[in-house]
Amino acid sequence: MKLTLGFSPCPNDTFIFDALIHHKIDTEGLEFEVIYDDVETLNQKALKGQLDITKLSFHAFAYVASQYALLDAGSALGFGVGPLLISHKYTPETLAGLLKSGKTDLRVGIPGKYTTANFLLSIAYPTLQNKQEMVFSEIESALLDDKIDLGLIIHENRFTYQDKDLIKIVDLGDYWEKLTGCAIPLGGIVINRKLDREVQLKVNRLIRQSVEFAFAHPESGIDFIREHAQAMDEAVMYKHIELYVNKYSVNLGEEGRKAIDTLFTLAQERNIIPAIQERLYI
């Protein structure tokens, strides 16, 4: 049986899925057709129901929960891993002064409407509504070229913005942790509810085994990871993996599920996402 599988070319995802798609573990008769895309493109494909299994932002999951169920394996949650709001010309103090004076038309570059990063921004800065969607890797350049006033960065840009004399306004992950005491849920792996329950459970089991294999053999997938890392510095590549792949990637567990439930409860209370009727998890 062949299933379509979407995930990003970022090191955390290629680290997780290397053993699965290269048959370093027994895939129990399943084959995978891999689609590599940035997370917002994957979000859009999930909204259209185009993939059997896909990585997506938890924010986007709220809009497709009737069609997809969340797997326990493969998710990206953690502490100290949140998106950063940065600027080239404003400091935290000057931004606070502008917002207090009623200025709300600042141009904000975001990595996608349905990203968890945008959800957190909506909670922390609800008045910042002049948002421009762009590929996450282009946000730093847009700030330097004065095309936007503020930028919401994710992934490896956490490690590179300071080298470009960009200024951190707020770490939204830290904001979330202080607000809730929970790990921040960034992205998860979902599976189409149309697939047989047995297949859903098998896929979850295989992804968990793939993560466990990667932890046990961290050098095994290095060529595959580097191939898709787009000239990323190797030290940054390893930091990326260490930051986003952890115990929650093996199994959400009670803590991980609590963090996700908290995210959706807060989002629904603030009318950021629609009410969800379905059970979230497989």
pLDDT, position 231: 62
Residue 279 lies inside a defined structural domain of this protein: no
Total domains, the chain: 2
Residue 65 lies inside a defined structural domain of this protein: yes
Residue 274 lies inside a defined structural domain of this protein: no
Are 202 and 72 part of one and the same domain? yes
pLDDT, position 61: 96
User: Positive or negative CA dihedral for 123, 124, 128, 134?
Assistant: negative
pLDDT, position 224: 96
Are 206 and 155 part of one and the same domain? no
Report pLDDT digits (tens) over 196-251.
Answer: 999 999 999 999 999 999 999 999 999 999 999 876 788 888 888 998 999 999 99
Are 216 and 232 part of one and the same domain? yes
Residue 129 token pair: 């509504």
Binding-site residue numbers are 55-57, 116-117
Residue 276 lies inside a defined structural domain of this protein: no
Are 29 and 162 part of one and the same domain? no
Other CB atoms within a 10 A radius of the CB of residue 268 amount to 14
Binding-site residue numbers for substrate are 55-57, 116-117
pTM of the model: 0.88
Angle at 56 (CA atoms; ends 256, 107), nearest 5 degrees: 105
Are 34 and 8 part of one and the same domain? yes
Are 69 and 112 part of one and the same domain? no
Are 74 and 202 part of one and the same domain? yes
Given 22, 59, 88, 155, which residue is catalytic?
155
Tell me the CATH number at 104.
3.40.190.10
- End of a domain among 124, 158, 180? 180
pLDDT, position 191: 98
Are 32 and 163 part of one and the same domain? no
Are 108 and 239 part of one and the same domain? no
- End of a domain among 180, 199, 217? 180
Residue 280 lies inside a defined structural domain of this protein: no
Are 101 and 240 part of one and the same domain? no
Structural domain that includes position 25? 2-78+184-269
Are 14 and 136 part of one and the same domain? no
- End of a domain among 141, 165, 180? 180
CA distance 38 to 10: 8
| Nearest alpha-carbon partner for 210 in 21, 76, 71 | 21
Residue 52 lies inside a defined structural domain of this protein: yes
- 155 among known catalytic residues: yes
Are 245 and 170 part of one and the same domain? no
pLDDT, position 234: 82
Catalogue the E-assigned strands of 8-91: 31-36, 53-57, 68-70, 76-78, 84-87
Residue 51 lies inside a defined structural domain of this protein: yes
Residues of the chain with pLDDT under 70: 231
Residue 275 lies inside a defined structural domain of this protein: no
Residue 248 token pair: 């929650």
CA distance 272 to 117: 13
Count CA atoms closer than 13 A to 61's CA, side-chain side: 29
